[in-house]
Amino acid sequence: MRIISTTAQWIKLRKTLKAQGRTIGLVPTMGALHEGHASLVRRSAKENDVTIVSVFVNPTQFNDKKDLAKYPRTPQKDAKLLSAAGADYMLMPEYDSLYPDDYRYRVSENKESAILCGAYRPGHFDGVLTVVLKLLCLAGADRAYFGEKDYQQYRLIAGMKEAFFLPVEIVPCKIVRESDGLAMSSRNALLTPENRKIAPQLNAALTGGKTAAQAKAKLAKAGFKVDYVQDIYGRRFAAAKLGSVRLIDNVKI
């Protein structure tokens, strides 16, 4: 696996790959990778000639600077995981390389981004959509892979692809869970040992409650500070905090 540190370096490589007629799969990430990410990489490697994984902690999607500062960063560990999963390239650009305009230009969506997580994280989805659009264009991807844990994010990105006629397939991938049901997330590493024991109750409440209200009550009783539990899109969504760590999950209903 080759590590790419600048957008110019990748653009040169991309031209060669495209000239050879090779298909490109993209897995956008913010690093601190786990088995959930590895599953996306393996699928991309199976379905494309070349797989590139971006590792970039995107500051424009953080509405809380403290949250940005504490987001886990494990580049050496990430590189080993990606190499083992079959990635061909690991893209690790600096902010100035990916945002030469310093975020003057941005993508906004004014309907679905205002609900669920969007109601609690102002500006979050502007940052997500903007960086993903940049990465899709930069990668020249034929397919891009997104986990369904961030299902609202997936819907918005799929909608952006349609709105802007992007020549890429947006591929949703099933949630990968720990043996106790907790959805794999980079943020799980920030949980205290005590809260890690409580965290699986997030999924248990979503699957065990007959209604969203019942699920919300179960989470509050377990010690979560609940942002929302809501049924929409044929799924039950939740976001809740344990200590300072915000967890999200969703299940089909």
Beta-carbon contacts of 122 under 8 Å, excluding residues fewer than 6 positions away, are: 63
Q: Top-level CATH class of 186-252?
A: alpha beta
Radius of gyration for the alpha carbons in the chain, expressed in angstroms and rounded: 18
pLDDT at 99: 97
Confidence of residue 128 (pLDDT cuts 50, 70, 90): very high
Domain ranges of the chain: 2-173, 186-252
pLDDT at 209: 84
Confidence of residue 151 (pLDDT cuts 50, 70, 90): very high
DSSP assignment of 17-74 equals: HHHTT--EEEEEE-S---HHHHHHHHHHHHHSSEEEEEE---GGG-S-HHHHHHS---
Please write the tens of the pLDDT for every residue from 170-227. 999 999 999 999 999 999 999 999 999 999 999 999 999 899 999 999 999 999 999 9
* Model confidence at 118: pLDDT above 90: yes
User: Exposure pattern of 108-117 as b/e (b: 16+ CB <10 Å)?
Assistant: ebeeebeebb
Handedness of CA 74, 96, 246, 159 (dihedral sign): negative
pLDDT at 44: 98
Give which of 233, 203, 230 is closest to 219, Cα–Cα: 203
Starting at the earlier edge strand, list the strands of the sheet with 245-252: 225-232, 235-242, 245-252
Measuring CA to CA, how many Å separate 200 from each of 151, 191, 196, 219, 238?
19, 12, 8, 10, 13
Would you name the residues annotated as active-site residues?
37
Please write the tens of the pLDDT for every residue from 12-65. 999 999 999 999 999 999 999 999 999 999 999 999 999 999 999 999 999 999
Average pLDDT over residues 151-157: 98
**Looking at domain 2-173, what is its CATH homologous superfamily?**
HUPs (3.40.50.620)
